[in-house]
């Protein structure tokens, strides 16, 4: 699996329910959770850690 494919597959695999669960654990909204997931996936696939801001809901 390529890095780009991995990155594209993670959010749909999580789905809205899991993204909301992650948001709750992080104390943020779904958009903040999505940014964290995207940053984490990028770091895991060798893309480094982009500057992501998590805002409180």
- Residues 15-21 have a mean pLDDT of 96
Please give the pLDDT value at position 51.
Answer: 53
Phi and psi angles of residue 46, each rounded to the nearest 5 degrees, phi first? 90, 10
A 10 A CB-CB count for 41 gives 17
Residue 38 has pLDDT above 80, yes or no: yes
Residue 56 maps to a domain: no
Residue 5 tokens, joined: 């494919």
Residue 44 has pLDDT above 70, yes or no: yes
Average pLDDT, the chain: 82
Residue 57 maps to a domain: no
Residue 25 maps to a domain: yes
Residue 22 maps to a domain: yes
Residue 13 maps to a domain: yes
Residue 50 maps to a domain: no
**What is the tally of structural domains in the chain?**
1
16 closest CA partner among 2, 37, 1: 37
Burial class of 40 by CB neighbour count within 10 A (0 to 12, 13 to 18, 19+)? middle
Range of the domain at 20: 3-44
Residue 12 maps to a domain: yes
Residue 9 has pLDDT above 80, yes or no: yes
Please give the pLDDT value at position 18.
Answer: 96
Single pTM value for the model:
0.71
Helices (H), the chain: 3-26, 30-44
Residue 54 maps to a domain: no
């Amino acid at each position: 699996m390529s890095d780009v494919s991995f990155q594209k597959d993670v959010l749909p695999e999580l789905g809205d329910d899991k993204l909301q669960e992650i948001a709750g654990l992080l104390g943020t909204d779904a958009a903040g959770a999505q940014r964290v997931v995207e940053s984490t996936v990028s770091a895991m696939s060798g893309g480094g850690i982009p500057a992501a801001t998590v805002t409180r809901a």
